[in-house]
Structure 1
Amino acid sequence: MTMIRLLDWRLHALVTLLALVAELIGIIKIPMGPGTLLLLPLFYAFIGGVLLNPHLLPGTRKWIPDAFSQAAAPLILISLLPFIARFGSTIGPAIEQIINAGPALLLQELGNLGTMLIALPFAVVVLKIGREAIGATYSIAREPNIAVISDKYGLKGPEGIGVMGVYVVGTMFGTLWFALMAGYLTSLDIFDPRALAMACGVGSGSMVAACSGAIASALPEAADDLMAFASASNLLTYATGLYVSLFIALPVAEKLYSLLAQRRQGQHQQLDENDHTDFTEAVMEEERPEHHLGKSAAVVGAVCVVGWLVNTINGADLLTALPGVLVLYGMTMLGLVVTRLMPFYLPAVAWVSLVSIVLTLPFFPGSQWMVEALKSVNFLAIVTPVLAYAGLALTSREFTMFRHTGWKLVIVSLLVFTGTFIGSAVVAQVLL
């Protein structure tokens, strides 16, 4: 992807417009039984991006070329990084509370086993899905989980089809599902809000952003503390989640499937092999921002400007928010530099989060000024543009993959996301 496309002012202007409109609409609360469903600005931004996507409605190509969609894909991760920095900056000031909740944070990862305990029996017994159910239900199917299935089974087999199907559904709807689910459960007042915040740490930047944003919107008076718990949980997920998936979740899924299905073979859903292979390669070989620091510095600057403008609706005016936005830019770039220099690999989001945590610890020089400056930057104002980029970034291949996965994997995917969130929240609640 060329620098010109990533810095095309028209793309960023379109995203800014979508995000501004979404922020102006604001949060819509819909009573549902004993709780309330929250529709957040990120929801409208995503829907707007999808409706303007040239791969969904070819007529929009008159105004929005395919190049916009191609450029928006790498911008999703890059635009998430300032949010992750803002996210991590809540941990430093709340470090004492987080240490006190240490056991709950460490062990709530086991709650992710709820993915298979809810979704796998339903997939095998009710929907009659075959071994696709193993790949579809052992995790929430983000990139590291795809790598595990690829290494053990290959991605052309049924397990690979299952994990890729959930990945596609998660890419298209997972973020919105987590936001709706988290906001509703918060309104029910069943769980400790800290437990729900911890359950947001699922290892996906956009999902944790939407999930924690919904909880913080429902409880604005505790927003910073809740964001701190969600951020700490997400950081630990990067450290432990892959190993829990590999050594606990996948073997348990295999055993549970064999008990439920015996030797019965499910009807394997077929995908076009070329589409599947190309999509897989695109997922696994995504260009990482730390590889090209010069280009990333310019692009991060562009997405920070977008967030800065959007922040004027529900955050602060441009002049007041400028120091905070500059702090986020510095934290993000420092995190990318650290990612590049480290002799071992952790995702850039993990390093950006760690950098922002260290810089805002009470004993770090200047931390009090940085924390104060960041208060003018609204969490949701930063993440709303991310969802606009995500809606525009969906390609014809992803729309095709979504059609091929069928309604069965859509249902299974939503059960997986629900099981992951509720399972983690229950474990965290008990340990708290």
Structure 2
Amino acid sequence: MSANPTLAVGQDRAVSNTVRLYIWAALVLLIAELIGSLTIPLGPGKVVLLPMIWALLLGAAVGQVGKRMPLGLGIDRGTQVRSAAILQYALLVFIAKLGLVVGGSLPTVIAAGWALAFQELGHFVGTILLGLPVALLLGIKREAIGATFSVGREPSLAIISERYGMDSPEGRGVLAEYLTGTLFGAVFMAIVAGFIASLNIFHPYSLAMGAGLGSGSIMAAAAGAIAAQQTAEVAKEVMALAAAANLITLTLGTYFTLFISLPLAVWGYRVMEPRIGRTTKASFQQSSVDAAVVDEPVELGWSARFSAWLASGALALLATLVMSKTLPPAAFLGVVVMILAAFVGELLCQLFRRKVPAVCWVSLVAMFLTSPWCPLAPQITAAHNAVGIMALITPMLAFAGLSIAKDIPAFRRLGWRIVVVSLVASFGTFIGAAFIAEVFH
């Protein structure tokens, strides 16, 4: 029996789109690394624009002009959707790197004690304390609940969808928060976290815990900006604490948002809206966004997942070469270990029917590899140390940039006011968690 020609053509097209996507990601990464870091003085502090930010912005620009490029060189909408799917698995390689860092820094994580435990409260209460009043003052109504009860990542979308439906005001609010985080979250939090770190108001470890927002890319951007201003040893502990805080947010955050922060946001809206709520043009704008385009998610098979992991590792090696002007042999082994941890973690996730997220399994596998209980921990530690954190962050944000152009039309329909609210809520969760961590540090 002959193979289905239509299926074969579809697979060939997917492979072609994926190869083109990887080429663009490599070009974006190369240009971003060549641009390097840019420091902008700002009052008593400074803003540090790192290569990862250039990668995100350049990727978004490529997606925007994709239709105007000749001979199918551009990134069309379907390829952008595929980039988002690849990003999901590229993140696992980055999570593996963080797990390797955490495993070797378990004494520091344990020593953080109550600071690391209580910072989770700040992550979610901070969004409501700052974001909700701003939303009401700008004339946003029930959309404010969805936009400010959390940082609006995938678990938050699921909670609001089940409780209210995505066509509700609350659904539009959480979608705005999600799109804002996707489009601007990494850039915004990198600038904010870097600036606050430069003021020396908070201990770097407190800021690191605040950076664990539950989003791999946003956490990476914020923690990377903080770590870039520290010594090599402190930078390592910053990434370890940020990874641990992010893991706690990913594992416990869904229950926290469902049972604590969402009811708190609903109560806060009921109490504050009659007192400070305003009626403006924004109060009526949001009813016009129901027609936003929703793309069918792309489900990657195992071969596509392996290609995503291999591409992430290859791009990390390229970034290491450009940054360090050298590529130590140990870096190759380090990348292999990260890919192996990502594979084992994803396999365990499948075996347990996704009852525990893949990021948790990958983190646990990687943490064991550099923990005192693993006999090969010293060798694995030496290998993964040859590949810096920033070498993994920049490729990840390149994929994020190449994927977000498709969301811009829907994002525009949501209006600038709710963008402000989303950014304030993101700032609130960061500064709230950092403050609580500082108190208990």
TM-score, length of structure 2 as denominator length: 0.90
Q: By how many angstroms is 1:335 displaced?
A: 1.2
Contact 2:103 2:371 in 1 (8 A): yes
Match of 1:109 in 2: 120
Which amino acid in structure 1 is aligned with residue 288 of structure 2? L
Which segment is superposed worse, 6-15 or 209-218?
6-15
What SS does the corresponding residue of 1:37 show, helix, strand or coil?
A: strand
Is the counterpart of residue 409 in structure 1 residue 418 in structure 2? yes
Q: By how many angstroms is 1:188 displaced?
A: 0.6
Structure 2 CA distance for partners of 1:119 and 1:234, relative to 1, 3 Å: same
Match of 1:423 in 2: 432
Q: By how many angstroms is 1:152 displaced?
A: 1.3
Match of 2:4 in 1: none
CA distance in 1, matches of 2:221, 2:425: 17
Is the counterpart of residue 271 in structure 1 residue 292 in structure 2? no
Match of 1:390 in 2: 400
Q: By how many angstroms is 1:274 displaced?
A: 3.7
Match of 1:225 in 2: 237
Is the counterpart of residue 167 in structure 1 residue 184 in structure 2? no
Q: By how many angstroms is 1:300 displaced?
A: 1.3
Gaps in structure 2 of 5+ consecutive residues: 1-9
Is the counterpart of residue 80 in structure 1 residue 79 in structure 2? no
CA distance in 2, matches of 1:265, 1:254: 17
Structure 2 CA distance for partners of 1:230 and 1:16, relative to 1, 3 Å: same
Match of 1:91 in 2: 102
CA distance in 2, matches of 1:180, 1:188: 13
Match of 1:133 in 2: 144
Q: By how many angstroms is 1:272 displaced?
A: 4.2
Which amino acid in structure 1 is aligned with residue 118 of structure 2? L
Contact 1:179 1:210 in 2 (8 A): yes
Q: 1:198 aligns with which of 194, 209, 213?
A: 209
Structure 2 CA distance for partners of 1:272 and 1:254, relative to 1, 3 Å: closer
Aligned residues: 421
Q: By how many angstroms is 1:70 displaced?
A: 3.4
Contact 2:312 2:396 in 1 (8 A): no
Gaps in structure 1 of 5+ consecutive residues: none
CA distance in 2, matches of 1:120, 1:241: 19
Contact 2:289 2:414 in 1 (8 A): no
Q: 2:252 aligns with which of 213, 232, 240?
A: 240
CA distance in 2, matches of 1:382, 1:79: 9
Residues 315-362 of structure 1: CA deviation (Å, up to 9, x unaligned): 441634211111111111111111111255222222111111111102
CA distance in 2, matches of 1:199, 1:65: 35
TM-score, length of structure 1 as denominator length: 0.92
CA distance in 1, matches of 2:126, 2:298: 29
Contact 2:320 2:327 in 1 (8 A): yes
Contact 1:6 1:75 in 2 (8 A): no
Q: 1:329 aligns with which of 339, 359, 365?
A: 339
Structure 2 CA distance for partners of 1:395 and 1:47, relative to 1, 3 Å: closer
Is the counterpart of residue 370 in structure 1 residue 387 in structure 2? no
Structure 2 CA distance for partners of 1:202 and 1:132, relative to 1, 3 Å: same
CA distance in 2, matches of 1:78, 1:143: 15
C-alpha RMSD of the superposition: 2.0
Q: By how many angstroms is 1:56 displaced?
A: 5.1
Is the counterpart of residue 250 in structure 1 residue 262 in structure 2? yes
Q: By how many angstroms is 1:134 displaced?
A: 0.7
Q: 1:155 aligns with which of 146, 166, 180?
A: 166
Q: By how many angstroms is 1:171 displaced?
A: 0.8
Q: 2:199 aligns with which of 188, 192, 198?
A: 188
Q: 2:20 aligns with which of 3, 10, 22?
A: 10
Contact 1:325 1:374 in 2 (8 A): yes
Match of 1:52 in 2: 62
Q: By how many angstroms is 1:3 displaced?
A: 7.8
Structure 2 CA distance for partners of 1:245 and 1:46, relative to 1, 3 Å: same
Contact 1:309 1:318 in 2 (8 A): no
Structure 2 CA distance for partners of 1:165 and 1:3, relative to 1, 3 Å: farther
Which segment is superposed worse, 104-113 or 310-319?
310-319
Is the counterpart of residue 146 in structure 1 residue 163 in structure 2? no
